[in-house]
Amino acid sequence: MPDLLHRPIGTRGEVHRITPESAGWRYVGFALHRLRAGDRAAGATGEREAILVIVEGKARIEAAGEDFGTVGDRMDVFERTPPHALYVPRRSDWGAVAETDCTVAVCTAPAHTDRPARRLGPDGVTQATRGKGTNERHIHNIAMEDRDVADSLLVTEVFTPAGHWSSYPSHRHDEDDPERITYLEETYYHRLDPSDGWAVQRVYTDDRRLDETMAVSDGDVVCVPRGHHPCGAPYGFDLYYLNVMAGPRRMWRFIAAPEVAWIMERDAKG
């Protein structure tokens, strides 16, 4: 299996490129561009759709022949304001010219229909708090299944306070049985505040044939091909991650790990 933990390649330009081929799976693609003012990034979707998330900074963006003007207003991801984001349909070109230092995430997955290019955020991005106690975290739902804005992609941001856990209780979505569980590949793009900190992500299956525990640094990406995948933020370091999920169905259904299922059941009862 390819490595699950990906460190950024350099500090400027395209610093991540994860494709289905490089990840050893079928659906999710993820790229990240770190641009300085005046830098340009561009791409073509082919038979895939893309959601561009302006993680930080401002850029002038054109997509599918449309000029969207200046996109972005969050200068630091830990401002925790909803992000600007754009949907780019299949068979389309896109380009971004940085107006400030900025970070642009490119989330991709197979497309089956011809949708229009459109803004997805910040308007329309719902905010929620999930979990209890030291499992509490804060969510920006950019393109989850309650929004009919994509064929395959599910995209969300999560802010985990220092000392808390998220993607927890541990759960998996690696089978296609839609009344019970759906198959979704997933990437995590991690950021930390302060940036010299670290967090922990584990990826493991019930039979432990896959059992990896990774110390993630600011800017790392973790691929989750299967299994449970909790994250922990140590005291002193806030954790952000951008999730990209895709599979044969645009549905998020999961099963808790056996050892923590009782926690999920207890918390659901209030």
Query: What is the pLDDT, as a whole number, of residue 203?
Result: 98
CA dist 131 → 134, 136, 170, 171 (Å): 8, 4, 12, 14
Query: What is the pLDDT, as a whole number, of residue 267?
Result: 85
pLDDT digits (tens, 9 = 90+) for 181-233: 999 999 999 999 999 999 999 999 999 999 999 999 999 999 999 999 999 99
Beta strands at 154-160 and 221-224: parallel, antiparallel or unpaired: unpaired
DSSP structure class, residue 79: G
87 in a domain, yes or no?
A: yes
CA dihedral 131, 133, 134, 140 (to 10 degrees): 30
117 in a domain, yes or no?
A: yes
- Which of 56, 44, 116, 105 is CA-nearest to residue 80? 56
Prediction pTM value: 0.97
1 in a domain, yes or no?
A: no
Contacts of 59 (CB under 8 A, 6+ apart): 35, 70, 71, 72, 96, 97, 98, 99, 102, 104
CA dist 256 → 81, 125, 232, 236 (Å): 30, 26, 17, 28
Contacts of 51 (CB under 8 A, 6+ apart): 85, 86, 87, 88, 106, 107, 108, 120, 142, 143, 150, 153, 155
Tokens of 129: 């708090």
Q: How many domains does the chain have?
A: 1
For residue 141, count other CB atoms closer than 10 A to its CB. 19
Where do the H-state alpha helices sit in the chain?
A: 20-23, 261-268
The C-alpha atoms of residue 52 and residue 142 are separated, in whole angstroms, by: 11
DSSP structure class, residue 208: S
Question: What CATH number does residue 252 fall under?
Answer: 2.60.120.10
Contacts of 9 (CB under 8 A, 6+ apart): 15, 16
Q: Exposure pattern of 42-53 as b/e (b: 16+ CB <10 Å)?
A: ebebeebbbbbb
Query: What is the pLDDT, as a whole number, of residue 269?
Result: 78
15 in a domain, yes or no?
A: yes
Query: What is the pLDDT, as a whole number, of residue 268?
Result: 81
Residue 122's H or E segment, with its range, is: none
Residues of the chain with pLDDT under 50: none
223 in a domain, yes or no?
A: yes
Domain around 66:
9-268
The C-alpha atoms of residue 158 and residue 88 are separated, in whole angstroms, by: 23
158 in a domain, yes or no?
A: yes
38 in a domain, yes or no?
A: yes
Sign of the dihedral defined by the CA atoms of residues 13, 225, 168, 155, in that order? positive
3 in a domain, yes or no?
A: no
